[in-house]
């Protein structure tokens, strides 16, 4: 089995199922199947679990690049789009539960919340910013946008910051968990800053003759991201 | 000067903990055996020794009370952890007997009293009150207790007593949540003396006709139904009569978010969320959100306490 086949028939389906597991759990809880209970406040539980799953998957999406670089497993990139789309899926679900089950479709309250409550404003902003990323996640869009695709998709960094901030701000007092998320996000973003700085330094001193340890990743990353995501591409 | 009521010999009473410690151990073992995520769908029945009390219908709301497992399984009691299910999972470490209450400040009768002595001869009544949390969820709870005023009058507060200050037990061995500085421990709450003396203000020792579960604030807690739930301090070990406004735990932690008065008020939002509506715990999907009432529906009885006050300023 080639690597491409392994991704297509084994790894991707496994990741797909793993990403749906939290949803399956919440459905069982909401319907009371298999003795699963969401506790006395099922609406909050659904809302929070969807939000937290979205954040978990978002951090996982952001971890793809460092992990593939540090472990020299560039093929891992093939899983990233699915993870990203599941982030969008759970964020939409999180918002839908908030609007339908929590606010019970009270649109006046929704408007007031988005306008007046900062943590909802930033959460809603993050949701809106995810839409163009989801829409342009197809191969066709990647080709069409070319270099601009990556520029656009750098929005994910802002979205991640807004998402963690949204979590931090809605917690009443015990901020340990959101701080944990903030710490992980800081590591993932910090990695990128350090890497970019190292590349700039390497680019600024080309006369040393020594080839960079990770050859030419920065310059070609745009061209590499697009095509390598295509399932048809062979290794 | 005060005289101590003689203590009952330990042999004469069988503290409920003796019975229920075994049950708690069993429950703990069960809880440990199942995943914390996988909560049993079947709810535990009301535990604790049965109390004798009369039903005070006049002071009870007509709404149906929440189930026992909702009231005893969904708690904010940060002394046992900050998740809603932490208190019910962790509060079995609290020893509720022997229990003493220290009375200090502007009163003729001061000192440390055994809770059994304080409760002796007190007529317990059941009152079904609305409960509104500052987090915008609500319950209806059949408490068993007695008016705080009957207790406070026994200490003969002097004219200097403008406020009553309550303090929760501080003992990180029994209350592991106190190892985490989420709030400034011990938890302190307070009322103006007229609020404390109001007939609706309740000292609670029971729930659903039985001894109060630890996670709901055993053995002695405060319930002020027209205020947000955090005013209802739990596991009280000190009651003080003061001339200055007590520095209450949530007010110290976030003065812009939690006022000293904390009267339920749909007009005054929390800075981060609306207080106009609430979600009723236990209500079916799509039928849980309801409007929040001024003073949590007790305006007729208590609004006069705040006549002339700017409730936006004194929130």
Residue ranges of the domains in chain A?
Answer: 3-201+224-228
pLDDT at residue A158 greater than cutoff 50: yes
User: Which of A1-10, A60-69, B29-38, B259-268 shows the lowest mean pLDDT across its residues?
Assistant: B29-38
Question: Are the beta carbons of B311 and B167 closer than 8 angstroms?
Answer: no
Q: For chain B, what is the domain count? A: 1
Give the distance from CA B246 to its chain's centroid. 17
Alpha carbon distance A17, A39 (integer Å): 25
Q: Do A32 and B41 touch (CB under 8 A)?
A: yes
Residues of A in contact with B39 (CB under 8 A): 36-37, 39
pLDDT at residue A223 greater than cutoff 80: no
- Shortest distance between the Cα of B251 and any Cα of chain A, in A, equals 12
Q: Do B253 and A173 touch (CB under 8 A)?
A: yes
Buried b (16+ CB within 10 A) or exposed e, A51-83: bbbbbbbbbbbbbbbeebeeeeeeebebbbbbb
Q: Tokens for A147, please give them.
A: 């270099």
Residue A115 DSSP label? H
Contact status of B288 with chain A (Cβ, < 8 Å):
yes
Give the distance from CA A138 to its chain's centroid. 16
pLDDT at residue A216 greater than cutoff 60: no
Q: Do B279 and A41 touch (CB under 8 A)?
A: yes
Alpha carbon distance B280, B277 (integer Å): 10
User: Which of A197-206, B27-36, B272-281 shows the lowest mean pLDDT across its residues?
Assistant: B27-36
For the question of whether the overall pTM of this predicted structure is more than 0.80, the answer is: yes
Nearest chain B residue (CA) to A49:
B37
> Cα dihedral sign for A114, A115, A120, A126?
positive
Alpha carbon distance B218, B24 (integer Å): 14
Q: Tokens for A227, please give them.
A: 């095509």
Q: Do A39 and B39 touch (CB under 8 A)?
A: yes
Q: Do B285 and A169 touch (CB under 8 A)?
A: no
End-to-end CA gap in chain A: 12
> B274, B275, B276, B287: which to substitute to probe chain A, counting the most A Cβ within 10 Å?
B274
Beta bridge partner(s), residue B202: B147, B223
- Shortest distance between the Cα of A5 and any Cα of chain B, in A, equals 36
Work out how many CB contacts closer than 8 A connect A with B.
74
Q: At what angle do helices A42-70 and A176-204 cross, to 10 degrees?
A: 20
Tell me the per-residue pLDDT of B107-145, one tens digit each, with 9 for 90 and over: 999 999 999 999 999 999 999 999 999 999 999 999 999
Residues of B in contact with A104 (CB under 8 A): 286-289
CB atoms within 10 A of CB B157: 21
Q: Do B70 and A40 touch (CB under 8 A)?
A: yes
* Residue of B82, B137, B253 lying closest to A41 (CB–CB): B137
Nearest chain B residue (CA) to A99:
B286
The answer as to whether B300 is a domain residue is: yes
Please, which contacts does B249-254 make with residues 24 or more away whose CB atoms are closer than 8 Å? B249/B183, B249/B184, B249/B187, B249/B188, B249/B189, B250/B134, B250/B183, B252/B183, B252/B184, B252/B188, B253/A173, B253/B183, B253/B184, B254/A173
Reduced to 3 states, what is the DSSP secondary structure of residue A210? coil
Q: Do B281 and A41 touch (CB under 8 A)?
A: yes
Tell me the per-residue pLDDT of A38-91, one tens digit each, with 9 for 90 and over: 999 999 999 999 999 999 999 999 999 999 999 999 999 999 999 999 999 999
Which H/E stretch holds residue A1? none
Nearest chain A residue (CA) to B274:
A113
- Shortest distance between the Cα of A40 and any Cα of chain B, in A, equals 5
Residues of B in contact with A119 (CB under 8 A): 272
Tell me the per-residue pLDDT of A97-154, one tens digit each, with 9 for 90 and over: 999 999 999 888 888 888 888 899 999 999 999 999 999 999 999 999 999 999 999 9
CATH number at residue B63: 3.90.420.10
Q: Do A112 and B38 touch (CB under 8 A)?
A: no
- Shortest distance between the Cα of B175 and any Cα of chain A, in A, equals 16
Average pLDDT, chain A: 88
Residues of B in contact with A25 (CB under 8 A): 37
- Shortest distance between the Cα of A141 and any Cα of chain B, in A, equals 39
Nearest alpha carbon to residue A166 among A62, A95, A103, A93: A95
Question: Are the beta carbons of B205 and B144 closer than 8 angstroms?
Answer: yes
User: Which of B40-49, B56-65, B94-103 shows the lowest mean pLDDT across its residues?
Assistant: B40-49
- Shortest distance between the Cα of A13 and any Cα of chain B, in A, equals 25
Nearest alpha carbon to residue B128 among B107, B149, B143: B143
Question: Are the beta carbons of A34 and A50 closer than 8 angstroms?
Answer: no
The answer as to whether B312 is a domain residue is: no
Domain that holds residue B225: 11-306
- Shortest distance between the Cα of B135 and any Cα of chain A, in A, equals 8
Nearest chain B residue (CA) to A166:
B272
For residue A39, give Cα distances in angstroms to A73, A98, B73, B122: 42, 17, 8, 36
CB atoms within 10 A of CB A135: 10
| Window B:21-40, CB contacts with A under 8 Å | 37-40
Nearest alpha carbon to residue A172 among B71, B281, B271, B176: B271
Alpha carbon distance B288, B279 (integer Å): 5
Q: What is residue A208's predicted lDDT score, i.e. its pLDDT?
A: 54
Question: Are the beta carbons of B252 and B186 closer than 8 angstroms?
Answer: no
Alpha carbon distance B130, B298 (integer Å): 9
Tell me the per-residue pLDDT of B259-269, one tens digit each, with 9 for 90 and over: 999 999 999 99
- Shortest distance between the Cα of B41 and any Cα of chain A, in A, equals 5
For the segment B269-274, the average pLDDT, to the nearest whole number, is 91
Alpha carbon distance B186, B298 (integer Å): 30
């Amino acid at each position: 089995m080639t690597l491409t086949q392994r991704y297509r028939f084994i790894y991707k389906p496994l990741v797909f199922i793993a990403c749906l597991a939290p949803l399956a759990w919440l459905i069982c809880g909401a319907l009371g199947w298999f003795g699963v209970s969401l506790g006395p406040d099922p609406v909050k539980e659904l809302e929070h679990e969807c939000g937290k799953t979205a954040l978990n998957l978002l951090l996982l999406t952001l971890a793809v690049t460092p992990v593939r670089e540090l472990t020299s497993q560039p093929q891992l990139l093939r899983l990233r789009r699915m993870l990203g789309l599941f982030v969008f899926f759970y964020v939409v679900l999180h918002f839908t539960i908030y609007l339908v089950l929590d606010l019970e479709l009270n649109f006046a309250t929704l408007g007031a919340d988005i306008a007046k409550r900062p943590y909802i404003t930033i959460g809603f902003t993050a949701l809106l910013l995810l839409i163009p990323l989801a829409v342009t996640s197809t191969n066709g869009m990647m080709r069409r946008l070319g270099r601009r695709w990556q520029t656009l998709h750098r929005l994910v960094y802002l979205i991640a910051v807004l998402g963690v901030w949204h979590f931090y701000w809605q917690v009443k007092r015990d901020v340990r968990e959101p701080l944990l998320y903030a710490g992980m996000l800081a590591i993932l973003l910090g990695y990128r800053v350090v890497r970019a700085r190292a590349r700039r330094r390497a680019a600024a001193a080309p006369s040393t003759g020594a080839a960079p340890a990770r050859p030419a990743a920065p310059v070609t990353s745009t061209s590499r991201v697009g095509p390598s995501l295509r399932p048809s591409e062979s290794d | 000067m005060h005289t101590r009521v003689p203590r009952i010999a330990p042999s004469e009473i069988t503290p409920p903990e003796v019975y229920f410690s075994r049950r708690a151990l069993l429950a703990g073992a069960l809880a440990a055996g199942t995943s914390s995520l996988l909560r049993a769908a079947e709810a535990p029945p009301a535990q604790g020794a049965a109390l004798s009390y009369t039903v005070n219908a006049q002071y009870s709301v007509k709404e149906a009370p929440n189930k026992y497992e909702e009231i005893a399984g969904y708690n904010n009691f940060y002394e046992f952890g900050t998740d809603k299910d932490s208190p019910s999972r962790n509060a079995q470490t609290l020893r509720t007997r022997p229990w003493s209450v220290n009375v200090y400040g502007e009163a003729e009768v001061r000192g440390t009293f055994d809770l059994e002595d304080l409760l002796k001869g007190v007529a317990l009544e059941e009152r079904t009150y609305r409960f509104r949390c500052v987090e915008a969820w609500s319950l209806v709870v059949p408490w068993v207790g007695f008016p705080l005023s009957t207790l406070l009058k026994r200490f003969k507060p002097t004219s200097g007593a403008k406020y009553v200050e309550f303090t929760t037990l501080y003992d990180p061995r029994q209350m592991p949540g106190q190892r985490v500085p989420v709030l400034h421990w011990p938890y302190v709450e307070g009322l103006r003396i007229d609020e404390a003396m109001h007939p609706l203000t309740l000292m609670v020792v029971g729930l659903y006709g039985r001894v109060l579960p630890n996670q709901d604030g055993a053995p002695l807690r405060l319930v002020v139904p027209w205020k947000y739930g955090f005013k209802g301090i739990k596991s009280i070990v000190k009651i003080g009569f003061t001339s200055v406004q007590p520095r209450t735990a949530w007010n110290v932690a976030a003065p812009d978010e939690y006022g000293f008065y904390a009267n339920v008020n749909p007009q005054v939002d929390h800075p981060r969320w609306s207080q106009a509506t609430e979600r009723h715990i236990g209500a079916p999907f799509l039928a849980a959100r309801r409007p929040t009432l001024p003073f949590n529906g007790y305006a007729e009885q208590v609004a006069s306490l705040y006549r002339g006050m700017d409730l936006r300023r004194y929130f």
